[in-house]
């Protein structure tokens, strides 16, 4: 879990003072202070505790610092901290929301900061590169400048009191022993010896374990390692230059990894008060520190405060040339400091401005998050942010980093294989390299963890960390139709960024409107969700830095502040502001006034402002083309936009299919590339070059292209279907079974009638084949209909002939009817005779039937009787069998009874014999008793009884 040093650092407090036990016992999770609900304690010192709390009115989290002591001096100092902090309203100073009192103990409510103190940053990287050290210290100097402007001296500036938040902001904390100049705070200072005699120390929390924090009772205010000579009580008053000394100590530690007076500890550091003994020079410890930077640090550490920098602003001005990306004004005057419509690359980090806070936040996120997605709208500068912002900062962090960059394209696994192949093998021939890349691509489908294993092995072998940047991640959904291919790619990414302890980090850039598409792989989405980093268009100050600072670094300036304000005001409400800003600034640079070293307002007006810069440029390029060239350029632009209105990566060979004159198309593409409207990516190996729009802002910011897209909106989806169908048809050797039929064939013929553009040869051949097939089917249909008509005619003729025959047959039938009537009369007489004969026959038949019925009934009764006899016989047989079984059982029972009787008689005989023996034995015993009675006498027998 990420540490949460999101509160003011502990003020020096005495551990010997008695805490207010009653209040301390009532404060805890779930407790309340006014309308603040305590969540959990964040830290505690000898005199107080800091809680994370919830503001129930405003719905925000805050830090509440409660003083748990009855010491009036500490209470006074606590209130002083609240007053001094509240007076300094600055983005780099912690915000205090409220001061109050609970059960007699004062408390203050401060903003809740999530991040880590600077000492932990230095612990991870003890020695920082100069640009990174200056980048961290510049916000601190701005905070000190604000405090000094309010006549406030911090007096306890140290890494523990500087917080690097997760959002990249630097915050200065803990004004608990701040000195308000020209106030009652200036009491008499004691000598160093008397101070040390009454000194009470707090245990250090540092790695060295020395005691460095001094108490108020000792009157020596500050932390020993960062105290200036005048803080040691040599009679010199303390002012704002005391904080400049602390800045010098912190910078010395950042650049060298050690304190200037190391190995001195604790009270040994009192040597700082000896004004005649200079501090060690930084280049004597680290000779490779730039001379100007070393001079600035050494000047901060001059023991005579009048020789130091006069104020924090002067220190900041001396350090600014060493900020990341700064270069000398007289360098590269002929080269534009603006990127135009192209993305910033890592080599452009010197001219990348306006994203310092976001860069620091993402670098901080990458410390414990292996998979991060930079999510933002089109034109937010996601690619530039990672390439020219994050990656260079990682490489300047003091830890060795290697960056790898790919785009998914149409073959995402192939892109991974192309990246991995050089890391695992090298072949003497190009054909062998391509074959191995294909093998790796197939291997990734079966073992998605292979890429992660290769990268981790390389990181361990090279002793460095690796950041893999997947640029334009939305191409996975716009250019890859196969969901299995997409899942295989995301599975590989999960295998790369699998744990925070891994030396590998994966960063994606994805348009925010494609974020919901990631949900199709639930596992990958769950791993990606904690690392979502939303990047929006920079705020006003960020846009100003991106616009003004590149020109200033090249030694130029804008003619008027109003001109800059007008540009910023327009960009604040413009989607895709960054590419428009860069393009407009680049055009201004091209029209600059070298004699006055100025970007002029007249050039800006001629440009048409921010809104007209891109459209004017693109339209001017089209205006220089012939009608035929413009038609071909339109076809190319439309082909380079997907139906979802995103950039499409199209091979140069595919674009050449738009016309039979490939040379003419090549000339048009070359002119558009030279005009910075298109960009060509050179393919690797035998892979051809690909073409794409230089930036997506052309899709929404160029009215001409937008009109073309609107006009061809209906055709866009059809063309995408046509490309896919034609590709399959061509790949299957033009199989007629893949040609469209029915409604799709009708739509194809309508498209051919309305479309006036050029189509690639394969697509045109496909449509021709569909049309030819539809024509053949139509002819067959016509032939079938004609045959049906002829058949119906023949049937009608046959029916007419049949009617003639039917009429003649009717006449013949009438003649035959007369004959039939005569025959009917004769038949009636015969019928009467037949009926009478039939009646007689029926009577005889009835008699025969009656006899037959009687015979059948008798036979039935005989059969029933036979059946009854058989049933009775079966019953008798069954009962006979049962009687036989019963007889057998009886015989066995009698046998067993006889045996039992014999055994009983034998037992009785034995019993009678035993009884006889017992009676004999009793008789002998009685006789013996009588003999004994006679021998012993009657009295003895009575006694014996």
Cis ω on the peptide bond leading into residue 263 (within 30° of 0)?
yes
Alpha helix positions (H), 210-326: 241-256, 291-300, 312-319
Place of tokens 């006498």: 937
Alpha-carbon 543 to chain mean position: 27
Q: Which residues, at least 6 apart from 266, have a Cβ–Cβ distance to it below 8 Å? A: 201, 210, 211, 212, 224
Do 432 and 484 touch, CB atoms closer than 8 A? no
Do 417 and 438 touch, CB atoms closer than 8 A? yes
Which tokens in the block code for residue 870? Answer: 């058989």
- Residue 155: which of 171, 169, 144 has the closest Cα? 144
Do 74 and 46 touch, CB atoms closer than 8 A? no
- Residue 359: which of 321, 387, 340 has the closest Cα? 387
Burial 211-243 (b: 16+ CB within 10 A, else e): ebbbbbebbbbbbbbbbbbbbbbeebebbbbbb
Bridge partners, 152 (sequence order): 180
Number of residues that make up the chain: 945
Give the integer Cα–Cα distance in Å for 288 and 286. 6
Give the integer Cα–Cα distance in Å for 729 and 62. 65
- Residue 415: which of 344, 345, 468 has the closest Cα? 468
- Residue 119: which of 207, 238, 178, 13 has the closest Cα? 207
As a whole number of Å, the end-to-end CA separation of the chain is: 100
- Residue 310: which of 243, 232, 221, 251 has the closest Cα? 243
Coil vs helix vs strand at 69: strand
Which tokens in the block code for residue 200? Answer: 């009470």
Which tokens in the block code for residue 596? Answer: 């006055």
Q: Count the alpha carbons within 13 Å of 49 in the hemisphere toward its beta carbon.
A: 20
Number of helices (H), then strands (E), belonging to the chain: the values are 31, 23
In angstroms, the Cα distances linking 552 to 328, 333, 600, 859 are 10, 11, 14, 133
Give the integer Cα–Cα distance in Å for 289 and 380. 36
Give the integer Cα–Cα distance in Å for 155 and 177. 7
Q: Is the dihedral of CA 390, 393, 399, 401 positive or negative?
A: positive
Q: Which of 156, 243, 348, 471 is catalytic?
A: 156
DSSP result, 752-812? HHH--S---HHHHHHHHHHHHHHHHHHHHHHHHHHHHHHHHHHHHHHHHHHHHHHHHHHHH
Burial 361-382 (b: 16+ CB within 10 A, else e): bbbbbbeebbbbbbbbbbbbbb
Place of tokens 């790796």: 440
Place of tokens 């199709």: 520
Give the integer Cα–Cα distance in Å for 305 and 236. 9
Q: Is 706 annotated as a binding residue?
A: no
Which tokens in the block code for residue 911? Answer: 């019993």
Q: Which residues, at least 6 apart from 161, have a Cβ–Cβ distance to it below 8 Å? A: 8, 9, 117, 154, 172, 173, 174
Task: For 400-450, list the strands marked E by DSSP.
Answer: 401-406
Do 636 and 680 touch, CB atoms closer than 8 A? no
Do 146 and 90 touch, CB atoms closer than 8 A? yes
Q: Note if 619 is an active site residue.
A: no
Do 92 and 170 touch, CB atoms closer than 8 A? yes
DSSP for residue 29:
T
Instruction: Indicate which residues carry an active-site annotation.
Output: 156
Binding residues: 65
Binding residues for ATP: 65
């Amino acid at each position: 879990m990420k540490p949460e040093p999101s509160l003011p650092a502990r003020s020096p407090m005495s551990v010997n003072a008695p805490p207010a036990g009653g209040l301390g016992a009532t404060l805890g999770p779930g407790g309340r202070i006014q309308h603040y609900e305590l969540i959990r304690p964040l830290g505690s010192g000898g005199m107080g505790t800091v809680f994370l709390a919830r503001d129930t009115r405003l719905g925000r989290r805050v830090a509440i610092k409660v003083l748990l002591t009855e010491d009036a001096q500490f209470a006074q100092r606590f209130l002083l901290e609240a007053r001094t902090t509240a007076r300094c309203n600055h983005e780099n100073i912690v915000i205090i929301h409220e001061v109050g009192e609970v059960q007699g103990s004062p408390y203050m409510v401060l903003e809740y900061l999530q991040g880590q103190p600077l000492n932990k940053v230095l612990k991870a990287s003890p020695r920082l590169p100069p640009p990174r050290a200056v980048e961290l210290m510049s916000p601190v100097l701005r905070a000190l400048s604000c405090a000094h402007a309010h006549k406030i001296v911090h007096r306890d500036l140290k890494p523990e009191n500087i917080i690097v938040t997760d959002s990249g902001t630097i915050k200065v904390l803990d004004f608990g022993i701040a000195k308000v100049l020209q106030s009652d705070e200036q009491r008499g200072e004691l000598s160093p010896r008397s101070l040390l005699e009454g000194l009470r120390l707090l245990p250090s929390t540092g790695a060295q374990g020395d005691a460095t924090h001094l108490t108020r009772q000792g009157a020596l205010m500050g932390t020993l390692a960062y105290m200036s000579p005048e803080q040691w009580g040599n009679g010199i008053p303390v002012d704002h230059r005391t904080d400049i000394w602390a800045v010098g100590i912190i910078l010395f530690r950042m650049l060298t990894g050690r304190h200037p007076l190391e190995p001195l500890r604790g009270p040994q550091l009192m040597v700082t008060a000896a004004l005649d003994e200079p501090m060690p020079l930084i280049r004597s410890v680290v000779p490779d520190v730039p001379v100007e930077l070393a001079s600035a640090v050494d000047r901060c550490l001059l023991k005579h405060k009048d020789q130091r920098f006069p104020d924090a602003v002067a220190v900041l001005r001396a350090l600014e040339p060493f900020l990341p990306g700064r270069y000398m004004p007289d360098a590269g005057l002929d080269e534009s400091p603006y990127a135009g419509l192209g993305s910033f690359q890592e080599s452009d980090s010197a001219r990348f401005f306006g994203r310092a806070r976001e860069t620091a936040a993402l670098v901080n996120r990458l410390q414990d998050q292996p998979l991060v997605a930079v999510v933002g709208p089109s034109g937010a500068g996601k690619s530039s942010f990672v390439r020219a912002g994050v990656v260079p900062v990682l490489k300047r962090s003091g830890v060795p980093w290697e960056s790898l960059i790919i785009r998914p394209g149409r073959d995402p696994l192939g892109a991974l294989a192309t990246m991995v192949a050089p890391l695992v093998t090298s072949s003497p021939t190009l054909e062998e390299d391509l074959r191995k890349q294909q093998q790796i691509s197939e291997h990734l489908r079966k073992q998605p963890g292979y890429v992660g294993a290769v990268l981790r092995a390389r990181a361990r072998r090279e002793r460095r960390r690796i950041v893999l940047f997947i640029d334009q991640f939305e191409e996975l959904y716009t250019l890859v139709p196969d969901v299995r291919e997409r899942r295989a790619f995301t599975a590989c990414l999960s295998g790369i960024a699998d744990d925070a302890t891994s030396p590998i980090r994966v960063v994606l850039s994805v348009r925010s409107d494609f974020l919901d598409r990631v949900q199709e792989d639930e596992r990958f989405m769950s791993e990606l969700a904690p690392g979502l980093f939303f990047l929006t268009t920079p705020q006003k100050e960020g846009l100003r830095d991106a616009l003004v600072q590149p020109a200033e670094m090249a030694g130029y300036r804008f003619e008027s502040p109003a001109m800059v304000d007008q540009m910023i005001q327009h960009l604040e409400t413009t989607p895709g502001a960054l590419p428009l800003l860069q393009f407009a600034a680049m055009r201004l640079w091209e029209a600059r006034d070298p004699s006055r070293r100025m970007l002029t307002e007249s050039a800006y007006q001629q440009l048409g402002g921010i809104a007209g810069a891109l459209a004017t440029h693109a339209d001017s390029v089209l205006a220089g083309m012939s009608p035929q060239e413009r038609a071909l350029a339109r076809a190319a632009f439309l082909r380079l936009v997907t139906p979802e209105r995103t950039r499409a990566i199209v091979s140069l060979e595919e674009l050449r299919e738009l016309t039979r004159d490939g040379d003419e198309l090549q000339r048009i593409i070359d002119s558009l590339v030279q005009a910075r409207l298109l960009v060509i990516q050179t393919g690797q190996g035998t892979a051809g070059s690909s073409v794409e729009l230089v930036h997506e802002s052309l899709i929404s910011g160029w009215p001409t292209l937008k009109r073309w897209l609107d006009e061809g909106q209906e055709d866009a989806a059809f063309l995408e279907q046509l490309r896919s169908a034609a590709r399959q048809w061509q790949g299957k050797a033009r199989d007629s079974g893949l040609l469209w039929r029915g409604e799709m064939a009708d739509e194809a013929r309508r498209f051919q009638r309305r479309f006036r553009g050029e189509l690639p040869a394969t697509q045109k051949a496909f449509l021709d084949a569909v049309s030819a097939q539809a024509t053949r089917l139509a002819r067959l249909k016509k032939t079938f209909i004609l045959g049906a008509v002829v058949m119906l005619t023949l049937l009608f003729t046959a029916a007419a002939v049949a009617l003639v025959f039917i009429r003649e047959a009717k006449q013949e039938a009438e003649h035959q009817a007369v004959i039939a009537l005569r025959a009917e009369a004769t038949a009636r007489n015969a019928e009467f005779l037949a009926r009478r004969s039939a009646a007689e026959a029926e009577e005889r038949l009835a008699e025969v039937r009656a006899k037959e019925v009687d015979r059948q009934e008798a036979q039935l009764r005989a059969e029933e009787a036979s059946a009854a006899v058989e049933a009775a016989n079966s019953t008798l047989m069954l009962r006979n069998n049962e009687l036989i079984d019963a007889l057998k059982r009886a015989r066995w029972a009698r046998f067993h009874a006889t045996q039992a009787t014999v055994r009983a008689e034998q037992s009785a005989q034995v019993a009678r014999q035993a009884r006889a023996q017992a009676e004999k034995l009793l008789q002998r015993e009685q006789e013996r008793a009588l003999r004994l009675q006679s021998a012993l006498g009657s009295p003895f027998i009575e006694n014996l009884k």
